[in-house]
Amino acid sequence: QVHLVESGGGLVKPGRSLTLSCAASGFNFGDHYMSWIRQAPGKGLEWVSHISGSGLTIYYADSVKGRFTISRDNAKNSLYLEMNSLRANDTAVYYCARDVGATTWDHWGQGALVTVSS
């Protein structure tokens, strides 16, 4: 049974950094692209970044490029999102999700809330 659990969310001041983690289980983690998707309070979904199974292919949304870094540790079945220079409009629930062939997402975590506020 596929299980994704995000952690590391919380309240952070503008300009500061925060790293999210996603612990995966129930599937061959290294075989799958993985993604981060976020949802601001009361708003729609926004894809943030995805990473190939090997970690060699990475893409970011323009809104986070240069500030966020996605990474993975296949030995630990874990996905990460390092977020730097955080802004108020980065406030959102951040979901990790398992890719289906680098296209859609068939399994999602429960989400981690990141609040950027002074």
Between 39 and 71, whose beta carbon lies closer to other proteins? 39
Give me the sheet containing 3-7, strands edge to edge.
Answer: 3-7, 18-25, 78-83, 68-73
Residue whose C-alpha is closest to residue 68's, from 92, 48, 91: 48
Report whether 84 contacts 68 (CB < 8 A). yes
Cα–Cα distances (Å) from 16 to 82, 84, 91, in that order, read 11, 6, 13
User: Per rule CB under 8 A, is residue 27 in the interface with other proteins?
Assistant: no
Interface residue with other proteins, options 12, 50, 68, 81 (CB under 8 A): 50
Minimum distance of other proteins from residue 103's CB (angstroms): 4
Residue 29's contacts (CB-CB under 8 Å, 6 or more residues apart) are 53, 72, 74, 77
Binding other proteins by CB under 8 A: which of 22, 29, 35, 114?
A: 35
Question: By CB under 8 A, what part of segment 53-72 binds other proteins?
Answer: 59, 61-62
Q: Please report whether residue 44 would count as binding other proteins according to CB under 8 A.
A: yes
4 or 83: CB nearest other proteins: 4
Given the rule CB under 8 A, which residues bind other proteins? Answer: 35, 44-47, 50, 59, 61-62, 95, 97, 100, 102-106, 108-111
